[in-house]
Every structure is written in structure tokens, then in C-alpha cells.
Amino acid sequence: MRYSPSCEKTRTLHLKDVFLSVKEFFHFAIPSAVMACLEWWSFEILVLMSGLLPNSKLETSVLSICLSSDSLHYTISFGISVAASTRISNELGAGNPQAAQIATLVSMLIALVETLIA
């Protein structure tokens, strides 16, 4: 395999830096994972507890519809945030801070419109 000398600096491995950053990664990853698990577990507990209500078949169906629509709105917001993050980081990486600022404002406007529609 041939390597271009123009990308020589991108292939260096610093194993010490990699292992030092793993601790920092888990410092943020574990609380984030616990938070996501608690959120979804609370939804599951809510569904199970809705079975204890007087008209449990209707209540569980309504709760299922509410959770599905909540997931839909979350997915739309998440897609907007991922696209905005990618666009802004690309502009900053290209050295265009003005374009990154415009992309930030546009993504905030899109998020506001989505919030008003939902």
C-alpha cells in the first residue's frame, strides 16, 4: 500500500494520549448512558403502571400513542441538531466563522419553526 507524504502527520499514533482520553470519555459517557437508560426505563414503568388504571386497555393505548408521537418529535429534533452540528463544524474547520454563525442562526430558526409546528 502506498501512502501519500502529504498526509504523513495524520498517521501518527500516540497511544499514551489515546489511553489518557479514555478516562475522560468514560467520565462523560457513563452519566450520559445512565441518564438515557433512566429515561427509557421510566417510560417502561409508566406503561406498566398504566395497566393498573380503571380502564387499562384504553389508558395503555393512549399512552402508547403519546409516547410514539413524543419519539417522532424527538427524532426530528435530533436530526436537526445532528445536521446543524455537522454543518457548523465543517464551516469552522474550513476557517469560515461567518458561515458557521449563519449556519447556527439558520439551524436555530429551523428548530424554532419545528417547535411551533409540533
Mean of pLDDT values over 20-25: 83
Please tell me the predicted confidence (pLDDT) of residue 33: 95
**Confidence class of residue 11 from pLDDT cuts 50, 70 and 90?**
low
Rounded Cα distance between 70 and 85, Å, is: 22
Winning range, highest mean pLDDT, from 32-41, 46-55, 70-79? 32-41
Report the share of the chain in percent with pLDDT over 70: 86
Tell me, yes or no, whether 25 and 71 share the same domain.
Answer: no
**Residue 79 pLDDT exceeds 60:** yes
Give the range of the structural domain holding residue 92, as residue numbers without chain letter.
Answer: 55-118
Give CA angle at 62 (80, 38), nearest 5°. Answer: 55
Can you say whether the dihedral through the CA atoms of 69, 70, 73, 79 is positive or negative?
negative
Q: Is residue 11 in some structural domain? A: no
pLDDT digits (tens, 9 = 90+) for 86-99: 999 999 999 999 99
Tell me, yes or no, whether 82 and 60 share the same domain.
Answer: yes
Mean pLDDT of the chain, nearest integer: 85
Domain count, the chain: 2
Rounded Cα distance between 58 and 56, Å, is: 6
Please tell me the predicted confidence (pLDDT) of residue 1: 47
pTM above 0.75, yes or no: no
Tell me, yes or no, whether 91 and 42 share the same domain.
Answer: no
Q: Which cell goes with 76?
A: 426530528
Mean of pLDDT values over 26-37: 94
Tell me, yes or no, whether 44 and 59 share the same domain.
Answer: no
21 exposure class (CB count in 10 Å sphere: 0-12, 13-18, 19+): exposed
**Residue 16 pLDDT exceeds 80:** no
Tell me, yes or no, whether 111 and 86 share the same domain.
Answer: yes
- Compute CA distances 61 → 13, 48, 51, 67, 118, whole Å: 54, 12, 10, 10, 21
Rounded Cα distance between 86 and 46, Å, is: 35
Domain boundary (50, 73, 95) is at: 50
